[in-house]
């Protein structure tokens, strides 16, 4: 489940090894992973990589020709760089969980680069995709996405007007809606609600100004911290060097059902909410609006 921190971690680990490299040959083992016109991907050959960017959970490999390769890892996608000698870029030190044995049966595409190294695209569940676009198309494409929560432009006013479109929805649904805020997934949405002490089923219109500010602050704080910890690995997530993330040990609710809340020792609950599971503390995440609070005025 690569969310914003995981995709950002992949970007940061791949950037130094991919910048300036040319694609020599692209092997596609699972044709359906190429969205749009599959034959287009051949055009990658001999194109030089001039940038690695990210928008929401989408990784963008910018090419000198004016095209961009968009990659969405969805749930189990991995993008791992392997050196010419077949070794991971470990800097001489073993990486925990870095033994990936590439290529393996989950390898759906291999990008051979001009220095003899290769970029392996793995995906167990086959939901991830690649798509080739022209740079100029991206802006229009990304207008469907909400604000980037780690940019300075993501102010409280921006957040407030974004959620105001969804007053009748449950808080967690809104946090997961990529057109409201771009980059949160199930793990960090649960963590944000816990930090802000908001029950995942609380309706947006019942949130007080203070509660909304608490959610806003938690989004920025938690995502920044998760990027610093190089993302969360439950099973599949690996960074661009094949290493696991270090954020799991810091999660307070996700994956902790049946364990005591770090604040009040009440057991963390896992509950079906729509088609997702929500993890929360039934005691310190309030389902009803505190008496002292007003409603969100917009």
Partner DNA sequence: AAGAAGTCCTGGGCGC
Partner DNA sequence: TGCGCCCAGGACTTCT
Contact footprint for DNA (CB under 7 A) = 1, 3, 32, 56-58, 72, 74-75, 105, 124-127, 144, 165-170, 173, 176, 178, 185-187, 235, 270, 272, 274-277
**Secondary structure class of 290 (helix, strand, coil):** coil
Q: Choose, from 276, 282, 283, 289, the residue flagged as catalytic.
A: 276
- Considering the complex, state which of residue 22 and residue 270 has its C-beta at the smaller distance from DNA: 270
- Considering the complex, state which of residue 17 and residue 181 has its C-beta at the smaller distance from DNA: 181
- Considering the complex, state which of residue 65 and residue 178 has its C-beta at the smaller distance from DNA: 178
- Considering the complex, state which of residue 17 and residue 185 has its C-beta at the smaller distance from DNA: 185
Q: Choose, from 2, 5, 103, 147, the residue flagged as catalytic.
A: 2
Residue with tokens 């929360």: 280
**86 alpha-carbon distance from chain centroid:** 27
Question: 247 in the Ramachandran plot: left (φ > 0), alpha (ψ -120 to 50) or beta?
Answer: alpha
Q: Shortest gap between Cβ of 145 and DNA (angstroms)?
A: 9
Q: Choose, from 21, 54, 57, 256, the residue flagged as catalytic.
A: 57
Whether 80 contacts 120, CB under 8 Å:
yes
Q: Shortest gap between Cβ of 6 and DNA (angstroms)?
A: 10
**Secondary structure class of 244 (helix, strand, coil):** coil
Q: Shortest gap between Cβ of 101 and DNA (angstroms)?
A: 13
Residue 125 phi, psi dihedral angles, 5° rounding: -85, -10
With helix as H, strand as E and coil as C, how does 94-147 read?
CCCCCCCCCCCCCEEEEEEECCCCEEEEEECCCCCEEEEEEHHHHHHHHCCCCC
Q: How far is the CA of 192 from the CAs of 164, 196, 256, 297, in angstroms?
A: 18, 6, 15, 22
Q: Which helix (H) or strand (E) holds 212?
A: helix 209-228
Does the active-site annotation cover 137? no
Residue with tokens 């309706």: 203
Distance CA 276, CA 269 (A): 13
- Considering the complex, state which of residue 127 and residue 156 has its C-beta at the smaller distance from DNA: 127
- Considering the complex, state which of residue 31 and residue 116 has its C-beta at the smaller distance from DNA: 31
Does the active-site annotation cover 238? no
- Token pair of 151, please? 């940019």
Q: Choose, from 3, 8, 148, 211, the residue flagged as catalytic.
A: 3
Q: Shortest gap between Cβ of 201 and DNA (angstroms)?
A: 10
Does the active-site annotation cover 3? yes
Q: Shortest gap between Cβ of 241 and DNA (angstroms)?
A: 21
Closest CA to 77 of 235, 212, 193: 235
Q: Shortest gap between Cβ of 20 and DNA (angstroms)?
A: 28
Report the catalytic residues: 2-3, 57, 276
């Amino acid at each position: 489940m690569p969310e914003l921190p995981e995709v950002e971690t992949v970007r940061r680990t791949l950037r130094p090894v991919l910048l300036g490299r040319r694609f020599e040959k692209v092997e596609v083992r699972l044709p359906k992973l190429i969205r749009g016109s599959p034959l287009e991907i051949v055009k990658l050959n001999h194109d030089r990589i001039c940038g690695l960017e990210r928008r929401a959970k989408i990784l963008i490999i910018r090419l000198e020709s004016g095209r961009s390769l968009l990659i969405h890892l969805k749930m189990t996608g991995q993008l791992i760089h392997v050196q010419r000698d077949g070794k991971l870029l470990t800097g001489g030190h073993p990486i925990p969980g870095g033994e990936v044995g590439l290529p393996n049966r989950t390898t759906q595409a291999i990008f051979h680069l001009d220095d003899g190294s290769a970029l392996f695209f793995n995906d167990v569940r086959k939901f991830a995709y690649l798509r080739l676009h022209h740079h100029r198309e991206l802006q229009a494409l990304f207008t469907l996405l909400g604000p980037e929560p780690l940019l300075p432009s993501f102010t409280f006013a921006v957040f407030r007007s974004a959620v105001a479109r969804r007053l009748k929805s449950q808080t967690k649904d809104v946090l997961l809606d990529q057109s409201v805020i771009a980059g949160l997934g199930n793990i960090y949405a649960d963590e944000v609600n816990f930090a802000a002490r908001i029950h995942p089923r609380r309706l947006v219109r019942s949130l007080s100004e203070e509660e909304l500010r608490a959610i806003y602050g938690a989004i920025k704080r938690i995502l920044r911290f998760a990027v610093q910890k190089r993302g969360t690995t439950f099973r599949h997530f690996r960074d661009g060097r094949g290493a696991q993330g270090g954020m799991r040990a810091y999660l307070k609710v996700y994956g902790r059902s049946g364990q005591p809340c770090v604040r009040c020792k009440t057991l963390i609950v896992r509950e079906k909410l729509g088609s997702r599971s929500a993890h929360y503390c039934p005691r310190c995440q309030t389902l009803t609006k505190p008496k002292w609070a007003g409603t969100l005025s917009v």
